[in-house]
Amino acid sequence: MDKKEKKVSMKLKEIQKTLLERKAAIEQDLVRISNEKLSDDQVQDVGDQAFTLTMEALRSSLQNSESEEYNRILKALEAIDDGTYGICIDCSDDISEKRLKHYPNASRCIACQEIAETIG
């Protein structure tokens, strides 16, 4: 293994560690969110009912966002394991190191991500 390969291997280990830490944090958040009680099971007036519904909607939105990020992390970890990490799923070009540093679960290069966001 030459210097360049060692450097890449070390970076992948750092990214994998970051992804695993974030995965664990999301798992804890999802457990906490699902166990959170929003009301005290007493009769609520209209204002309390509206507040409870709003909080339920916010919780659901947060759970969805966290679940989506969790799934992206799982895919990134899988890509590290199978050697395809850092390769755009659309064009097969390398994803820039800068993008992966800031967004380690990126599956597309910037150009393809912009196209994907425009389309859908």
- What pLDDT does residue 49 have? 83
pLDDT tens digits, 84-110: 999 999 999 999 989 998 999 999 999
- What pLDDT does residue 1 have? 61
Alpha carbons 117 and 14: distance in angstroms, whole number: 28
pLDDT tens digits, 4-63: 566 667 888 999 999 999 999 999 999 998 887 766 667 778 888 888 888 889 888 999
Structure tokens at 98: 């800068």
3-state helix, strand, coil in the chain (%, to 5): 70, 0, 25
Question: Taking 90 as the threshold, does the pLDDT of residue 120 lie above it?
Answer: no
Neighbour-count burial of 85, counting CB atoms closer than 10 A to its CB (0-12 exposed, 13-18 middle, 19+ buried): buried
- What pLDDT does residue 118 have? 92
Residue 40's φ and ψ, nearest 5 degrees, are -100, 20
Q: With H, G, I as helix, E, B as strand and everything else as coil, classify residue 87.
A: strand
- What pLDDT does residue 79 have? 94
